[in-house]
Structure formats: structure tokens, C-alpha cells
A and B are shown apart, each in its own frame.
Chain A
């Protein structure tokens, strides 16, 4: 089953375009909500091996300036997880962005981290869902390293999957010095289903 996961150049372009449109819509709504300009690069669509993913997780472990929030999403036949990685996130920048006043205690810091992640994830996931005509439901966000330990997570990945599709987007909000990577990971089975869905878009 896992050997089936390959992307043709055409399919890759299609996913990139779908994500691009979704991001455009997301950026528009984020701009209206947060009153900021969001810089968006072209999304990266790749097949990643489990080892690469483990390395990403390892890099998160122990790093004090990096935080990551993951959130599952599921729709008809498609399931995956959105992983939002904040590079050198400072809570004061984020709280300023979300207009949380005053000093924050530890719980409030984590809460705004989840809020930001949820807004960025949600805006993108819904945009992709709209184009594929799928209504995704999102689960409660989980902060890696806070709500679960990363070492356990790496161990648990073993043998559960080998390679899958990942869409990577780099969000940049210059005004607030916020830089983060959104990683959309799909399960192996979902990729097969999504390839079928986009085949309708690719037909002339």
C-alpha cells in the first residue's frame, strides 16, 4: 500500500495550486481578523519519509525557542494532521498580535499559542476542504512537549507509516516578528483518495 504513494509532476502542481488558493483566502481572512499583512511564499508539496519526520521532531525536542502545536483534521476519506512550528516565537509578539492585554501566566501563554495555531491551521484546512468539497472537522489542538512528550512520540512513529505526502507552508508576519512553518501531513490512505479527487480537476 505504502509503495503506491508517488506524485506525478502534474499532481504535485495541482496540490500546490490548491494550497496556494487556500492560503490566499486564509491570508485575506487573517488580515481582516488580525489587521496584519501576512507574507506567503509558494507552498512546498513533497513526499516525506518517516525518518525525515522523525528528524523534524528531534529538532523540536530540547529546543527552548521552538514550540509546536498539532491538530488533527478529518473529512470523508481524508485524514491528517496539521503541525505548526513556531521558530523562535516570543509570547509577547504573539499576544500583541492577538491583542491579549497585560502580562501572561504560563497557562495563558500556552492558550494563545493554541489560539494562533488554531487560526492559522483552520484557515488553511478549510480552504483546501472547500476546493475539494470536503467539510473537515478539526480536533482540539495539542502542544507538543507540553501535552505529550516528544521522545515518546518519536518512538511511537516506528512502523506505523513509511512515507506520505506533506504540504509545507511558511507563514511570515513581519510586523510582529512571527515566523512559523505549517506542515500538513496526510495519512497514506488519504493520499490515494486525494489523488482520485484531484484527477477530476486535472481532466480537461
Chain B
């Protein structure tokens, strides 16, 4: 009895952590409909989970290049291995505002993203998880460094 209470408590902890962690989590099905939308995504997009659940990703976020994203995601579904995007090559997936709107020096949030396969119990993959990392600080430092280097060359 006590172990099940313990497990319940741990489950609630995990849920609270997923909800508040400073990383975006989105679960998508085979048709790219949104199945899960955590607190980070809610806060930055301004859309509540009940507004996004079941909705198509590309309809809600026109900034995502559908063809490009599908090409990446199909590999994840089929190969069952993660795929990545990094801010140096593609500044963002979702057009979110910077976490620090006043002193942040850039309007949009730079993002790194991982697309993770979620296995069914039989090993097949019908869902993928998008993990969005805020890479704005790293990107700003890198841009500052590049500026500094090009100044030195002049």
C-alpha cells in the first residue's frame, strides 16, 4: 500500500517537473497533430494545451517549413533514431520571443531541437517527441565572439 502511495507521489513530482522545466516538450502523432504540450510551450507560444491538443502543428505554426520538417521527422519514425537541429544552422523552429524582452538584445529565441522517437510496446514508432532548448544565450555569445574576431581582422 505504502509503495503505491510512494509511486503516486513520485509520478506527481515527475509531472510537475515536466510541466515547469525550462525546456519545451511536444508530442506529435504520425499526422503531426499535437498530443502533448508542456508548460514551456504554453508560456512561450501563448497557447494553452486545450487549444493545441489534436491540432495540426503546421496549421498552428506557419513558420515551420512543412517539407523540411517532415523530411527530418520521417527519418525518426522509420529509423527509430533521434534527429537534431541546431541554432547555428536554423535559428529557431518555433518563433518565440526572447526570454528577456528588455535586455535580451534579440527579439526571437534561438533554439536547439531534438526529435525523439517514442516507441510503442511492440517496438514500432507512431509518435515523436520534440524537445526545444532555449539557446539564446549561447547564440548571443557566439555572435559577439564573431563580431569581435571580425573587428580584429579589420
A and B: bona fide binding partners: yes
Given contacts A122-B82, A138-B81, A140-B84, contact A114 B89 (CB under 8 A): yes
* Inter-subunit contact B89/A140 (CB<8 Å): no
For A127, the closest partner residue in chain B by CB is B81
Given contacts A33-B74, A107-B90, A114-B86, contact A140 B114 (CB under 8 A): yes
Q: How many residues of B contact A (CB 8 A)?
A: 18
Number of inter-chain CB pairs below 8 Å:
56
Residues of chain B whose beta carbon lies under 8 Å from any beta carbon of chain A? 71-72, 74-75, 78-86, 88-90, 112, 114
For A108, the closest partner residue in chain B by CB is B89
A43 in the interface (beta carbon within 8 A): no
Rounded to whole angstroms, the CA-CA distance of A147 and B146 in the bound complex is 12
* Inter-subunit contact A140/B112 (CB<8 Å): yes
* Inter-subunit contact A122/B79 (CB<8 Å): yes
Q: Mark A18-60, 1 if CB is under 8 A from B, else 0.
A: 0000000000011011000000000000000000000000000
Q: How large is the interface on A (under 10, 10 to 19, 20 to 34, 35 or more residues)?
A: 20 to 34
* Inter-subunit contact B75/A33 (CB<8 Å): yes
For A33, the closest partner residue in chain B by CB is B78
Q: List A contacts of B72 (CB < 8 A).
A: 115
* Inter-subunit contact B90/A111 (CB<8 Å): yes
A128 CB to nearest B CB, Å: 12
Within 8 A of B (CB), among A107-130: 107-108, 110-111, 114-115, 118-119, 122-123, 125-126
